Structure 1
Amino acid sequence: MVDASATTRKRLADRLRDDAATPSELGRAFDLSPSTIISHLEHVARSLESTDEQLLVAPPRCQECGFDSFDQLLNRPSRCPECRFEGVTEPTVTIEPVR
């Protein structure tokens, strides 16, 4: 259950504890741009460093060649650096306990 009086970052973290999502999905849910969501996610990740949880990121992936070794995991590149295909999926993020 998400507390409506909590900060955006707290509500975002609570949402990611429940289910994985892409920055676009989170942007629609919180009525924010994906770039603003990414900024919040970077802060949430730093906040979690001193806890028993971590922000996990499934990187973007090229739909043509499968490349997924992007330098910036949270950003969605416009095209694949390997094959130049423009069909690159968004990263997916979630919060899980440290194992």
Structure 2
Amino acid sequence: MTGATETTRRRLARRLRETAATPSELAREFDLTAATVLSHLEHVARSLDAGDEAVLVAPPTCRECGFDDFDDLLNVPSRCPSCKHEGIDEPTVTIE
């Protein structure tokens, strides 16, 4: 399939096979909201062949204290549960 006939989820998967990206980067690139990208990524993760590929997520990280043990890796938290700092680096997602 080419770009015009591919679904958004297939285009996202193809893009993530090339290089890692944050939800905000993907949202800008595909003209979507970050929340929509996260929803699509959950579906992409479920639809991949478990033996061949997987969605890998580098967790969000607090810029203040380094906390990275968030419950939901595919989420963009508003603040750190440890130090309450609002500077959180987004998760980075790739498919390998």
TM range (shorter): over 0.9
Give 5+ residue unaligned stretches, structure 1: none
Aligned identity (percent) is 67
Counterpart of 2:84 in structure 1 is 84
Counterpart of 2:2 in structure 1 is 3
Counterpart of 1:36 in structure 2 is 36
TM-score under structure 2 length normalisation:
0.94
Give 5+ residue unaligned stretches, structure 2: none
Q: Output one character per residue of 1:39-71: Cα deviation in whole Å (capped at 9) or x when no partner.
A: 000000001144400000000000000000000
Matched length: 95
Q: Are the counterparts in 2 of residues 57 and 73 from structure 1 also a CA contact under 8 Å? A: yes
CA RMSD after TM alignment = 1.2
Higher deviation after alignment, 13-22 or 3-12:
3-12
State the alpha-carbon separation in 2 of the partners of residues 53 and 24 from structure 1: 23
Q: Which runs of 4+ in 1 moved over 3 A?
A: none
